[in-house]
Every structure is written in structure tokens, then in C-alpha cells.
Structure 1
Amino acid sequence: MKIIDRNYQKEQDYDKVLSFLRREYETDPHYPGWKAQRFEDMEYRLNTMYICMGSEPWHPCVHLWEEDGAIVGLCVGERKGENFFYVKKGYEFLYPQMVEWTKNNMFVEEHGRREHTFWVCDVQRELIDILQSQQFERSDCDVHLMEHAMTDIQEPTLPEGFRFVYGTEIKDIVLKTNISHWGFNPDQEGIENTACTEANKNRARAPMFDEQFEVMIQDPNGELCSYACLWVDNDTRSAFVEPVSTREKYRKCGLGKAMLLAVLHRCKENGVTRAYVEPFDVWRENFYASAGFRTYGKMGIWTLSETI
């Protein structure tokens, strides 16, 4: 069959891409690609946030390779210049043309140079060989791919007077957004980030988003301290962690771990058999490991800088 490549069109391709990612996941739970939940998070939440911040929509960052109308290859990036490559098993021969398309279309120009950034799982050996042959270099930063088998989940414990609350109890999207945002950006404590708020308003429309898998912690005075959300895909009975944060003044109290364990219990009660997360550094890997997650792989960041 002839293989064609074309740009992603949300209206006709969104469900098609999710089906591709789910199908490959069912074949191999450690499939080196985005989970369907991450694609949906990108479509509904992060895309909205980037647009509110003045960036272009992300759709031109998604490109498909098809055989007889079925997706066999996918290039996707959170934004231009950040590229991920996935192929159906047996279609690794597509990597050279995928790399070429991405180099020609997804570069970023800075100071008279073209900057290329590819995110590649270590198991994608054929792709790594191609990048090395083209003088790409791997950075020191790794993304750790971790999973929780949903067995032996520890019981969460909280300091006296603190309690869990869920998204079904707190409907105020602005409030929930602030708690999450301030956890990642303590220098902006007390300031609303309108881009994040609009992104989370749109996230609420996502088919997989479910408020019962949002969990927060209140202190004895009723003030919210922490926020976590898991995206649950009922088709694959899997969950994806995005995000987890604790406000600076409440850190070092075990709140983040307790919150994560609480929502993992809720996921298990709802039939989830695996949960995934992708921490970007060792201390975050250690945090998730303390809650029972185990590392099954790594993703490297490969870069190439070319003079224009």
C-alpha cells in the first residue's frame, strides 16, 4: 500500500489519533509514544494556554503518515521546535522521512541559526542512529517514564486538621487553577494567571476530563494547599498524571505524596489498572518512586543547531 503524509486536521483526525495511540498502547503498555490522555491534554488545555500567551495553535505541529487511511506514523510537538516521533511497530523505515519533514518544517530560528529539538525514547534505537548520523547531540536532561501497577497502593496520611477535597466538591475553576499555578510558580503567589485559567476552562470540556480525579488538600483554616489531577482513559483503563503541585509555604509536609496516593486509590476503585507520569528530573523521579511508581524507560532530548 502507498504511504502518504499530511497535516493534522482536528475535526477529522482527533479521534483517529486517539485510536492510534490507544491501539499501540494495548499492544505494548510501554509503547514509546504519547498516551491518549496526553494528546487530549495538549488539544484542550495546553493549546488554549499557548494561544492565550500569544503563540500559534499547535495543530501545524502534528503531522500524520497513513497507509490505506490508517495512521502508521505520527510527529507531534507541544510547540514548534519540540518534536516527538511515533510509528506503528514494523514501520520504523519511516523515520528518515519523518526526520526530514520535521527538520524542514518544525525548526526554530534564533540568532541566524536553525534549532532542532527532538524528544526520543531510548528504545527507539533506529531513530537514535539516524539522529547521531546527522550530528544531533543528546542533552544532559532526561525525561523519566514511570508507571504505577496499581497494586499495594500506600494509604495516604495527612497532618492533623488537613483534609482531602475533590473537584466534585470545589467547582471554582479559577480557584483550582490558582492553587496549581502557585505551586509551580511561587513568585506569582496571589496573582491569577489568566492564560492558565482559560486553559482549564477548556480542559473541563475534554471528553476524558473528570472532576472526581482532581484532588486538593485544605489546611485547618480551609485554605487550599495542593492540587493534583489524573486523566483517566476508560478505553485503556489507564491514568496519566498531569499536574501535581504544592504551594511553597506548605512544602516538606508530605502533602504532595498523600494527595497522589489518595487519587490513585480513587482511580483503582474506578477500574484503572496502570497510571503513568513523565517527570523531568531526578528529584521528581524520587518523589513519584516514593508513591510506588517505577521507572521503565527514559526519553532523551536530542538537538542540532545549523547556520542558516
Structure 2
Amino acid sequence: MKPRLREYEPDDMMKVRNFIIRTHSLLGQPNSWGIDRWEFVPYCQEKKNGTLEQWLSRIGIWERENGEIAAVACDDGDAYFLLDTWEPGAALMHEMFEYAANHLLFSEPGRRITRNALAITAGMKGMEHIAASRGYVREPQADIMLSMELDRHYDVILAPGFVIKDGNEVNDQKKALGHIRAFDYEGTDEAVDTMIHYGNIRNAPDYRAELDLFVMNPSGEVVSFCGLWHDEINHIAILEPVGTHKDYRRKGLGKAVIYEGLNRLRRLGVREVYVGSDQPFYRSIGMQKEHLLHRWVRHF
């Protein structure tokens, strides 16, 4: 029997989190979202933006007769399908496309094309075939996730006066200011909201203060940082967020804080780490293996 569509319910945060973990176990790689994004978006991003209720209202969940989640549709700019199989049934896929069209995709004003895209994991041939049959066109660019195996100790080198501290030692105001300066939006309304709400990430189910790492300069300011999300079942972790103040780049600080994180992860038994980015910096520190999400826009 085809899974039944229902709306998001309050206790689904952990259910979907567990579904994402199970998905990685079944596929041996990420499908679309990891636990990092599933938790960072509501606990930090949407909370800060004041749009959490609207975001939750757009989530669709397909459930099997035994109550097990079969699929999830959600958005973060683009629309995403979370699935635990490479080839879902055709009936389920068509229903998910209908849901995306009605709840997650938006038309470009004055043009017969969607403003945002539907992301489909490379290798999902059945999904790609249905997308093409429904008027979707694959764009040249793709979202790329890199990964690396943790097979050695990583040397952490810092200039004199700089130290690494974790979330037990750095307050939320310093963390927020570090984020604002790393992504260069100081003095904006968004920065005001970040200062108020950034600390809410501590409430996320998989937040671990000892894996929330910061480089402090001699003045005690956050100048580089990385967050690590540990999936204990699959022995993997994901980097999110990562940033360095623009005045402190090319000094080895980002590499140092990430390497400190990798060493901590190895001690926890983590075998592989992922990051949702294709920046040359990540390749320079050893990340190579690619997982692709292709972007499909719909033409009417």
C-alpha cells in the first residue's frame, strides 16, 4: 500500500531525525539532508527569522501503515525530498511532485518558470525521469557535498596568542558576533536577530558543546569556528556552520579549528566527515569524495 501523506506534527522532529539516520544506513551515503541541516534550519535559521511556524507548515510526511516514515518533503530556499531508497514507487513519487508544486515551489513573476528549484540526488533515475516528464529541466549547477575518511591524526597549528575553545567555554554573544563577522553582515537587521537568537542552537537534539569549536584571538574574540554534528549510528559527522572573519583568513585558523574537530571525532569513533560545500578550501584540507544534488526548475 502506498504511504499516506500527513502534515508535520510536534513530535516529528526526532522521528525525521531518526529517519535521516536510517536513510544513511540504508544508502551508505547522504540522500539530501543530514541531521545537521534538519536541526540547524528550525533551531537557528527559521527561529531567528521568525518564520519557524510557516516552515513547519510546509513540511509533508509520508507514513507507512506501521507508522514508519517513508518520505519527507521540505524546503530551505529550494525544495528537497528526503527518501530512504534510490527508487521509490511511482505513485509515491508523483504524489511528492504534486506536493512540491503546491507547497514548496514558487513561480518567477512574469515568467513561466519556478523561482526556486527541486533538488534531486544524483543517481535517482526514476525521480529524474518523472521530473523531465513533468516539465522540469536540470540546471547546469549542482549542490555538492564533499567527504573524507578520518584515517590519521591531524596536526593543529595555531599562531601564538590564538587558542581553540568549545561551546562550554564561549558564550552565545561571542559566538553570534563571530558568525556575523565571518559572513560580513555586521550592522544589519539580520545581525540584530542573530545576536538575539543564535544561542538557540543549543536546544537542538544533536548539539554537543564539546563539538562546537572556536578560534579566539588574543583579545578573546571569535575569529574562526566550526560546528560538528555527530551521527553515532553511522559513525559519521557533518561540518555546519563553518566560517572565518575576513581579516583573519589565509592564516591557517579555519584549518586548525576543523582539524581539532576531526581529532575529537576520531576519538568518538567517527570514520567519515561531510561538508555541504565545494569550496577549494575544503579540498585543500583533504576532502575529495563528491555527492551531488542536481537542481531542477519547472517550466509551465
TM, length-normalised to structure 1: 0.87
Unaligned runs of at least 5 residues, structure 1 = none
1:4 aligns with 2:1: no
Alignment of 1:109-188 (within 5 A): 109-113=107-111, 115=114, 116-170=116-170, 172-185=171-184, 188=186
**Contact in 1 for aligned 2:148/2:272 (Cα 8 Å):** yes
- Residues 149-186 of structure 1: per-residue CA shift (max 9 Å, x gap): 2112431212233221222221x20111110221012x
Which residue of 240, 262, 266 corresponds with 1:242? 240
1:84 aligns with 2:80: yes
Paired residue total: 295
**Contact in 2 for aligned 1:49/1:195 (Cα 8 Å):** yes
For 1:144 and 1:135, the matched residues in 2 are separated by 24
Q: Secondary structure at the match of 1:108?
A: coil
Q: Indicate the residue corresponding to 1:62 in structure 2.
A: 59
1:232/1:31 CA distance change after superposition, 3 Å = closer
Could you say what the CA RMSD is over the residues aligned between the two structures, in angstroms?
2.3
Which shifted more, 233-242 or 262-271?
233-242
- Residues 271-307 of structure 1: per-residue CA shift (max 9 Å, x gap): 322221111x4xx1x211222222232112211244x
Alignment of 1:34-49 (within 5 A): 34-49=33-48
Q: Indicate the residue corresponding to 1:301 in structure 2.
A: 295
User: 1:61 offset after TM fit, Å?
Assistant: 2.5
For 2:204 and 2:161, the matched residues in 1 are separated by 34
1:181/1:158 CA distance change after superposition, 3 Å = same
**Contact in 2 for aligned 1:75/1:98 (Cα 8 Å):** yes
User: 1:124 offset after TM fit, Å?
Assistant: 1.6
Unaligned runs of at least 5 residues, structure 2 = none
For 1:64 and 1:75, the matched residues in 2 are separated by 7
Which amino acid letter does the alignment assign opposite residue 245 of structure 1?
G
Which amino acid letter does the alignment assign opposite residue 58 of structure 2?
C
User: 1:202 offset after TM fit, Å?
Assistant: 1.7
Counting aligned pairs with the same residue, the percent is 24
For 2:222 and 2:200, the matched residues in 1 are separated by 22
User: 1:193 offset after TM fit, Å?
Assistant: 1.4
**Contact in 1 for aligned 2:32/2:293 (Cα 8 Å):** no
**Contact in 2 for aligned 1:7/1:64 (Cα 8 Å):** yes
User: 1:192 offset after TM fit, Å?
Assistant: 7.8
For 1:141 and 1:182, the matched residues in 2 are separated by 28
- Residues 99-132 of structure 1: per-residue CA shift (max 9 Å, x gap): 1221122232442456251011112221122222
Which shifted more, 259-268 or 39-48?
39-48
For 1:221 and 1:47, the matched residues in 2 are separated by 32
For 1:298 and 1:192, the matched residues in 2 are separated by 30
For 1:62 and 1:212, the matched residues in 2 are separated by 31
1:191/1:220 CA distance change after superposition, 3 Å = farther
- Residues 206-231 of structure 1: per-residue CA shift (max 9 Å, x gap): 12111111111122343331121112
Q: Secondary structure at the match of 2:200?
A: helix
